A and B are shown apart, each in its own frame.
Chain A
Amino acid sequence: GQQLNQSPQSMFIQEGEDVSMNCTSSSIFNTWLWYKQDPGEGPVLLIALYKAGELTSNGRLTAQFGITRKDSFLNISASIPSDVGIYFCAGLYGNKLVFGAGTILRVKS
């Protein structure tokens, strides 16, 4: 079945640094979604991408839908302590929604 490889698994960065994470797959997806989950809460949708090559920003977050439709990346600029949490990518193909394993982000203040 379709699988997503999300990397890195975890990151420990200095406040103010930029962060980059990505998801790749051997399968093609029609939509890429990026979520953030804080401890004890459900995921929150950050960015949705619907077209190959699309680059979308949401504040300090920027995500891109890869040209091959098999990958996507998320960048966070100038990280702050409240950016800590788990970031998930998800790919949608037809009626199938597949999630990456998540990237744990820890920020040193």
Chain B
Amino acid sequence: KAGVTQTPRYLIKTRGQQVTLSCSPISGHRSVSWYQQTPGQGLQFLFEYFSETQRNKGNFPGRFSGRQFSNSRSEMNVSTLELGDSALYLCASSLSPGLASEQYFGPGTRLTVT
């Protein structure tokens, strides 16, 4: 069974631009969560989607948004990029909703904002 895939793997953007990251969960998984990982702040939870609905949300500004499609694929969008948005963005999928359920992480998208 294929794992969680994230595209693109690497991305360079400039301040003020917007970016969309994509995540394809493991087949059959309906829950997708997004995380931001930086050396300074560590791993931080962004949001969780299940059945196309946002279930949980972390403490990030409204510039960070996401959505989930009927096939469970998810996208994350960051508008008006800031230098501090440079990070590894990780997506995780699980069979059932809930952040404690066994989540399988993708390799991440490395975003660099210049």
Contact = CB atoms under 8 A, between A and B. Distances in A.
Interface of A: 1, 31, 33, 40-45, 48, 50, 88, 90, 92, 95-102
Given A1-B59, A101-B42, A43 B99 contact: no
Contacts, number: 46
Contact of B42 (A33, A44, A102): A102
B105 interface: yes
B45 A42 contact: no
B86 interface: no
Interface residues of B, number: 20
Given A40-B107, A42-B92, 18 more contacts: A31-B100, A42-B90, A42-B105, A42-B106, A42-B107, A45-B103, A48-B100, A48-B102, A88-B43, A90-B43, A95-B55, A95-B56, A96-B45, A96-B58, A97-B45, A99-B44, A99-B45, A101-B42
